[in-house]
Amino acid sequence: MIKNKRLNFIASLIDKNTNILLDIGTDHGYLIKKAFDNGKIRKAIATDINELPLNNAKNNLTNYNVEFILTDGFKGVKSEFDLVVIAGMGGNLIANILKDAPNNNDIKYILQANNKNDKLRRFLSANNFKITNEHIINDKHYYVILEVVRGEMVLNNEDYYLGPILKTKKESITYYKHLYKWYNTIIQKNGLTEGEIVLKANILLNHIETNKGKK
C-alpha cells in the first residue's frame, strides 16, 4: 500500500481501459505498482535517466509485466503505449521531455510538474497539446495535475497562470490564495512594482476577489 496522496491521485486518473502505461522518470516505480494493483493496466514501461532509481523500480516491480529502460525521456522507448505519466519533475524539464512525444492522437498524458505550470501550459499550447482536465491536491504541498491529449488549445495569460480548467473549480481558490500570499511576500520584500510576478499576483488577486462568496 502506497501512502502517497499525490501518486494515489494520479493512479486514480488512469482509465480502466488503459493497455500500456509509460512512466517517464519512474524512480521507485510506485505509480506503476499502484496502477497494476488497481487493475488499471496490462503492461508498463518504466524509464529513468538514472540507474539507481531504475534499479529501485526493478526491485519494487518483480513479477509485474514491466519493461525497464534506462533513457532520457522518450528517446530509448521503442514499444507502443497508450498513456504517458510524467510526474514529480520541474515544468521546464517536462516540457523538454515532451518535445520528443509521438504525434499520436490516441495517446493520453498525465503531467504533474512540481513548479512552473504556467511555462508548461505555454509549451503545451504552442506544441499541439490540449489540456482536457486539471486538478489540484494538497499533500503537504499543493500539486497541480494536468490531463492532456494532442490537439489545439488557445490560452490567454489568465489561463497560463490559473489554468484554463482549474480556474473554473472552486477547490482551486485556497491554492490561489496560497500562491498569492507567497508572491506578495516576494513583491513586498523586494519592493517590486512590475514584472511577471506582479502580473501573476494581480491575476490571482483579481480571480480571488471576483469569486469571493461564490459557492
- Positions that interact with ligand SAM (CB under 6 A): 7, 24-27, 47-50, 53, 72-73, 87-89, 93, 97
DSSP letters along 63-127, please? TS-EEEEE-STTTT--S--SEEEEEEE-HHHHHHHHTT----TT-EEEEEESS-HHHHHHHHHHT
Q: Which amino acid is at 199?
A: L
Q: Which is nearer to ligand SAM, 148 or 187 (CB)?
A: 148
Q: Which is nearer to ligand SAM, 48 or 134 (CB)?
A: 48
Q: Which is nearer to ligand SAM, 24 or 204 (CB)?
A: 24
Q: Which amino acid is at 61?
A: L
H or E element at residue 157: helix 157-162
Cell numbers describing residue 157: 495569460
Q: Which residues pair with 139 in a beta bridge?
A: 141
CB of 204 to ligand SAM, least distance (A): 26
Cell numbers describing residue 112: 504533474
Q: Which is nearer to ligand SAM, 81 or 161 (CB)?
A: 81
Q: Which is nearer to ligand SAM, 33 or 121 (CB)?
A: 33
CB of 101 to ligand SAM, least distance (A): 12
CB of 73 to ligand SAM, least distance (A): 4
Q: Which residue has the cell 476577489?
A: 209
CB of 153 to ligand SAM, least distance (A): 24
CB of 199 to ligand SAM, least distance (A): 29
Find out whether 144 and 154 touch, Cβ atoms under 8 Å: no
* Of 144, 93, 148, 102, the residue nearest 125 (C-alpha): 148
Q: Which is nearer to ligand SAM, 61 or 87 (CB)?
A: 87
Rounded to 10 degrees, what is the CA torsion of 144, 150, 156, 160? 20
CB of 149 to ligand SAM, least distance (A): 20
Cell numbers describing residue 3: 501512502
